[in-house]
Structure 1
Amino acid sequence: MFEDLNTAQLIAITVLPLLFAITLHEAAHGWVAMKLGDNTAKMLGRITLNPVPHIDPVGTIAVPLILVLLSSLLGNFMIFGWAKPVPITWRHLRNPRRDIALVALAGPMANLLMAIFWFAVLKITFGPTTGFTATSFILMSAALGIYFNLLLMILNLLPILPLDGGRVLNSLLPYKLSRKYSELEPYGLFILLALMAVGLLPYLLAPAPWLYNLFIQFV
């Protein structure tokens, strides 16, 4: 679907799905935290669908742009990115052990809802698709929106701190074990890089393309 696009076209179809996915993910964390007693994200202006406050120079701009350029050169489309994490003051939550899990789950669930939204866009869009038309732009953006949101959801559900799945697991562990598990948080990125280096990360993320194909079957 994307192999025949030039660099400018790849960037065009990537911008909206990427910004919507990371913006909604982070805003959902902040909104649920606010409902559960912590107003930190609200005070910092992070409970918003305006992507600007959520933009991370590296994760939202540099990495996606590099991947798009590589995709254009290699002919194998790749895209990923992230936003600035929404700050949460955990001690302000009314029931920290429970609420940490609820705040963490809000991000992946927001991505699932966004994938369903893009599926609906894909379902109702019709028109000429020969060449880079408005219709093909919407269809490719929607397909990319489904895939990227599912990928972001599955990645964040991995039980590795500081990912959302790690926070959920940590909230379920007995207190002493939870304290020990929390000590691994500074090494979370290195754990992910190690999983990538040994070739295990694609297997852990395999549910994302499976779910994507399931969505596409119903278009």
Structure 2
Amino acid sequence: MGLLSLLSTDPLAFVIVAAALVLSLTVHEFAHAWSADRLGDPTPRRSGRVTLNPVSHLDPFGALLLLVAGFGFARPVPINPANLGRWGTVAVAAAGPISNLLIALLCALLLRFLPESAWFAGSDLSTLGRVLFTVLSVNVVLAVFNLIPIPLLDGSRILGGLVPSLGRSLAQFEAMPFSFVLVMGFIYLASEPIGRVIGAVQNWVFQFILS
């Protein structure tokens, strides 16, 4: 279900989710670009990606998919693995999910230690509570999803760095025509088991906060 369905039923939720997605995707891609830049690869800086400006990172088609289908993507950060080496490439790939985990951790700590009166309004969540829970949830989803070791996702690049022979095969697949369409089709078909894994992680995090 896309974000557009929220626009008519709960406009505030639409604004909160959209803002959380823009923030989280921007930080995710910035983390890739910043880490590559720090590790000696000038490619992201030359492409204007070492910035927290969302316009530099959001992909129009990916954003449209988020609105209509409920899943999408940002613009991948270009890097040159030859400038980074094996472990530098792994570090850059891991930087995106790590940034989302850090945002999720910050929200979890705020929810854990703020008084309940700050994020509850009677029996319902306050606006602050909705924002924190939404940002937390979005970043858990992005971190776990991107760590799945399938082509085009960060998990595959981390796995490819750890197992170079597999990394070469994954790179060959990604260079194939229509590899993007094949991966998107796989994600769509496997959305139910992927959703169960992500949901289990979210439930664990929420139990930690509410315990």
Question: Which TM-score tier does this pair reach, normalised by the shorter chain?
Answer: 0.7 to 0.9
Distance 2:28 2:97 in 1: 7
| TM-score, with length taken from structure 1 | 0.78
Structure 1 residue aligned with 2:100:
111
Q: CA deviation at 1:205?
A: 4.2
Distance 1:142 1:163 in 2: 26
Letter in 1 for 2:100: N
Q: CA deviation at 1:28?
A: 0.6
> Can you give the 5+ residue segments of structure 2 that lack an aligned partner in the other structure?
1-5
Distance 1:174 1:46 in 2: 27
* Match status 1:16 vs 2:26: no
Distance 1:49 1:114 in 2: 15
CA contact (8 A) 2:147 2:153 kept: yes
CA contact (8 A) 1:192 1:201 kept: no
Task: Go from structure 1 to structure 2 and tell me whether the alpha carbon gap of 1:215 and 1:180 turns closer, same or farther (over 3 Å shift).
Answer: closer
Q: CA deviation at 1:32?
A: 1.0
CA contact (8 A) 1:98 1:171 kept: yes
* Match status 1:99 vs 2:88: yes
Task: Go from structure 1 to structure 2 and tell me whether the alpha carbon gap of 1:195 and 1:19 turns closer, same or farther (over 3 Å shift).
Answer: closer
Task: Go from structure 1 to structure 2 and tell me whether the alpha carbon gap of 1:118 and 1:59 turns closer, same or farther (over 3 Å shift).
Answer: farther
Task: Go from structure 1 to structure 2 and tell me whether the alpha carbon gap of 1:127 and 1:163 turns closer, same or farther (over 3 Å shift).
Answer: closer
> Can you give the 5+ residue segments of structure 1 that lack an aligned partner in the other structure?
68-78
1:1-219 map, 5 Å: 6-60=9-63, 62-67=64-69, 79-93=70-84, 96-123=85-112, 124=114, 126=118, 129=121, 136-175=126-165, 177-185=166-174, 186=176, 187=179, 189-197=181-189, 200-217=190-207, 218-219=209-210
Q: Number of residues paired by the alignment?
A: 199
Distance 1:100 1:137 in 2: 39
Percent of paired sites with the same residue: 32
Q: CA deviation at 1:188?
A: 5.1
SS of the residue corresponding to residue 206 of structure 1 reads helix
- 1:101-123 residue CA offsets vs partner (Å, 9 max, x unmatched): 11101111111111112223434
Task: Go from structure 1 to structure 2 and tell me whether the alpha carbon gap of 1:63 and 1:191 turns closer, same or farther (over 3 Å shift).
Answer: closer
Distance 1:86 1:103 in 2: 10
Q: CA deviation at 1:171?
A: 1.5
- 1:115-174 residue CA offsets vs partner (Å, 9 max, x unmatched): 112223434271662699xx7222122212111111111111111121111111111224
Letter in 1 for 2:162: L
| TM-score, with length taken from structure 2 | 0.81
